Chains A and B, each alone.
Chain A
Amino acid sequence: MDRLTEQLAHALKSITGYIYPNEIELHWGILIVIYPYLTGLVAGAFILASLVKVFKVKALEPTYRLALLTALSFLIIAPVPLLSHLGHPERFYEILFTPNSKSAMAMFGFVYAWYLMMVLLLEIWFDYRAELVRWAEESTGFKRLAYRALALWSSDKSDKALAFDKRAVRLITLVGIPSAFLLHGYVGFIFGSIKANPWWSSVLIPVVFLFSSIVSGIALMLVIYLVTSLWRRKKIDMPCIDKMSEFLLYALIIDFSLELLDFVHRLYQSEESIEILGNMISGRLFISLIIVQMLMGTILPLIALGITRVRRRVLPEELRRMIYLLAAIFVQAGIFSTRWNVVIGGQLFSKSLRGLTIYKMEVLGIEGLLMAILLLVLPFVILGVIVKILPPWEEEVHSPTI
C-alpha cells in the first residue's frame, strides 16, 4: 500500500489540467495490455491455419499445424494476466457460476471455454488422431500409454475413419473462423461498448481489433516458421513465406484503412473530446502511437512488403526472407503498441475531458514489467513442450523423440 501511495503521489505531480481525484490511480495496466495482445495472436494464428483448410491455400500447408499449436499455447496463457490483475483472483469462478447476463465481460469465460474446447482442442485432436494412433503403436511403455490416452484410446486407422477425421477438421475450422472472430471481436467489444470513454467508445473497435489480430497472428507465424526452420536446419519453403507475407500485406492494408477511417472520422466529427484526445496523441501517446504503431509498425512494413510483393521475381530469396522477418517483427511491435494505446491511452485522459494523467509501470510486482515479460515468454515455452509431444513438421514420419 505504501508503494501505491508513492506511485500515486508521483502521478499527482505529473497531472496536467484537471482530472477527477479518483482518476489519479490508473486502473488497467500492462497486464490488461497483454491480454488483448495474446488473444489477438490466438485468433490471428487460427485464421492463418484456417486459410489452409477452408480457403484451400495450399502454399501455407507447412504452417498449418504449427499455427494451431501456437494458437493453443497462447490461448492457455491468455487468461493469466486477467486473473492476476483481479483484486480477488480467488473469486474468479463467480464469473462462470453467477455471470451477469448484461455484462460484456461476463461472457469471457464462455467465449474462452468454447474456443479452447470446441474449436482448438477438438481440431488438433482430429488432425493428429491418426498419428497419435500410429505413434502409440510404434512406441512402448509409458510413451505408448501416453499416446493412447491422447488418442482417447481410439485405434481405428481405416480409410473411413481417416476420411471422417478430415471432414471433422474441415467442419470445426468452419465453426472455428467465426469463433476466432468472436473471440477477438468480443475483446474489442469490452472496450468499444464503454460509452463513458470517448477513446474506446467506437463501433469500429471490435473490427479494428479483429484485423489487427489477423495481422499480428500472421506476423507471429512468419517469425516462428522462419526461426524454427533455421533452428532445425531445414530448407525454408519460399512459396509458403511469400504467401504468408502476401496475406500479411492484405491484412495490414485493411487494418490500416480501418484505423485511418477511425482517425479521420474522429477528427472530422470533432466532438467534445477532440481537444483532450488531440493533446494526448501529440503528447503522451506520440511515441507509442505515431512513431511505433503508425510509422514503424504499419507504414514501414506496408512499404517493405508492398515492394517485395511487386518485385518478388527480382529480389533474391535471401533478401526477401530478411525483409519478411524484419517486417513481421516491426508489425509485432506495432500491434503491441496498438493494444497499449487502446488500453493505456483510454485512461490517460480524464473523463472530465480537462486533463491528462500518466502511467508509470513498475518493474517488479504482479503488475510489473518482469511479470509482463514472463507472460509473453511463457506461451513460447508451452509451444516448445507441445511441439515435442505433437511434432507439427511434415517430415517427422516416425514417432517423436521425447
Chain B
Amino acid sequence: MNEDKVERRSFVKTLVGLVATAGAIPLLSTFDKIYASANDTENELIGGKRYGMGINIKSCIGCGRCVDACKRENNVPRDPYHFRTWVERYAILMSGETKVDSPNGGMEGFPAETSEGEILRSFFAPKLCNHCSNAPCVQVCPVGATYTTPDGVVLVDKDYCIGCRYCIQACPYGARFFDPATRTASKCTFCYHRLSKGLLPACVEVCPTQARIFGDTLARASQLTRFFRFNEIQVLKPDLNTRPQVFYAGLDGVVR
C-alpha cells in the first residue's frame, strides 16, 4: 500500500512536469508566429501599393448585381452554396431583435420583408474576402498555397493547394469555400486578373450606386482616399486583429 502511494506521487509529479514542458512548445511557436505575421506584408509592398475596398452601407440597395457579376467573371458555381461575394440584409426590429438573411447570396435581390414584427431600421451589408494584412488563412495554410501578393491581395494557388480546408476553418468571415471543380480552396481575388490589366473588380464595375469603391489604400489622392476622408470607417471583427483591407462606412454594430 505504501509503495503504491510513493509510486502514485512520483507519477503525478513527473506528469505535471511533462505537461508543463509539452505545453510550452506550442506557446513559444505562437509568439514567434504572431510576431512574424504582424510584420509580414506591410514592409514589402510593390511600389508602395496596397489594394483595398471601401463599402458604403448607406449606398447599397441590395440589387445583387455584384454577386451575379462576380459569379460570371470568376466561374463561381452558380448554386446557392458557393460565393466570393454576397449581400446580407439586416432588419432591426422594434423589439431590438436583429434578423439577417441572404437568400441565394442576395444574387436575385431580396423578397419583400415578411416581417415578424415592426421594423425599426433595415440595411444591406455586402461581404467578401477582407484581404486581411494579418490573414489567418495565410498563416494556417500548411504548404503556403494561400499567400499575400506584394500589393496586399490574398490569393490561392490552385495548382499548389492540397485541399485540406484548414484555411476555410481559419477564416472568421466565411469568405472561403471549397471549389468542387478544382477541389481546392477558393475565394475573392479582388479580380486580380482584371487589376493587372488596369481594370476594376467586376463587383465594383457593375455596382449601380457606387457602394463599392476600389483602389490603393496608400494613395494620396483617389476615390478611396476621399471615401476614407469623409466617412467614419469600420472593419469587420476588429477584435480578431486580422486587419482587414475591406473598409465599411456606416457599418452597424450588429453586423458580424
Q: Which residues of A contact B (CB under 8 A)?
A: 1, 4-5, 8, 12, 18-25, 27-28, 51, 54-57, 82, 85-89, 91-92, 94-95, 98-100, 102-106, 108, 177-178, 181-182, 185-186, 189-190, 193-197, 206-207, 210, 250, 346-347, 350-354
Contacts and interface: CB of A to CB of B under 8 A. Distances in A.
B36 interface: yes
Contacts of A51: 11
Interface stretch (B78-86, B114-122, B212-220, B221-229): B78-86
A213 to B, nearest CB: 12
Contacts of B37: 102
Nearest to B105: A21
Nearest to B165: A27
A158 B126 CA distance: 77
Given A86-B163, A103-B166, A189-B26, A351 B81 contact: no
B139 interface: yes
- Which of A12, A100, A186, A353 counts the most B-chain CB atoms under 10 A from its CB? A100
Interface string B102-127: 10110000000000000000000001
Top 7 closest A-B pairs, CB basis?
A87-B163, A20-B174, A196-B172, A181-B22, A87-B183, A18-B100, A106-B142
Interface in B2-35: 7-8, 10-11, 14, 18-19, 21-23, 25-26, 30, 33
Interface residues of B, number: 64
Contacts of B83: 21-22
A89 B141 CA distance: 15
Given A55-B7, A185-B23, A210-B22, A21 B102 contact: yes
Contacts of B79: 5, 8
A207 B105 contact: no
Contacts of A57: 7, 11
A48 to B, nearest CB: 12
A87 B162 contact: yes
A51 B10 CA distance: 11
A168 B168 CA distance: 44
Contacts of B175: 22
A233 B179 CA distance: 55
A108 B127 CA distance: 33
Contacts of B101: 18
Given A103-B141, A210-B22, A353-B256, 11 more contacts: A19-B174, A21-B86, A22-B168, A51-B11, A91-B143, A103-B140, A103-B143, A185-B22, A196-B170, A352-B100, A354-B100
Contacts of A210: 19, 22
B136 interface: yes
B81 A27 contact: no
Interface in B41-89: 79-83, 86, 88
Contacts of B136: 194-196
B22 A88 contact: no
A86 B162 CA distance: 6
Interface in B135-189: 136, 138-145, 160-166, 168-178, 180, 182-184
Interface of B: 7-8, 10-11, 14, 18-19, 21-23, 25-26, 30, 33, 36-37, 79-83, 86, 88, 98-102, 104-105, 127, 136, 138-145, 160-166, 168-178, 180, 182-184, 240, 256
Contacts of B172: 195-196, 351
A22 B256 CA distance: 15
B243 to A, nearest CB: 13
Contacts of A206: 23, 26
Given A55-B11, A210-B22, A88 B161 contact: yes
Given A91-B162, A351-B172, A353-B256, A103 B139 contact: yes
A102 B169 contact: no
Contacts of B256: 351-354
Contact of B178 (A5, A25, A193, A354): A25
Nearest to B164: A86
B169 A196 contact: yes
Given A87-B163, A105-B166, A12 B142 contact: no
A351 B173 contact: yes
Nearest to B185: A87
A305 B206 CA distance: 68
Contact of B160 (A8, A91, A108, A353): A91
Contacts of B169: 27-28, 194, 196-197, 346-347
Contacts of B163: 86-88, 91
A226 B162 CA distance: 42
A268 B161 CA distance: 40
Contact of B143 (A8, A23, A55, A100): A100
B165 A87 contact: yes
Nearest to B102: A21
Nearest to A189: B26
A197 B14 CA distance: 33
A258 B104 CA distance: 42
A108 B19 contact: no
A21 B183 contact: no
A27 B168 contact: yes
Nearest to A186: B26
A28 B168 CA distance: 10
Contacts of B178: 25, 27, 87
A178 B102 CA distance: 49
A23 B182 CA distance: 18
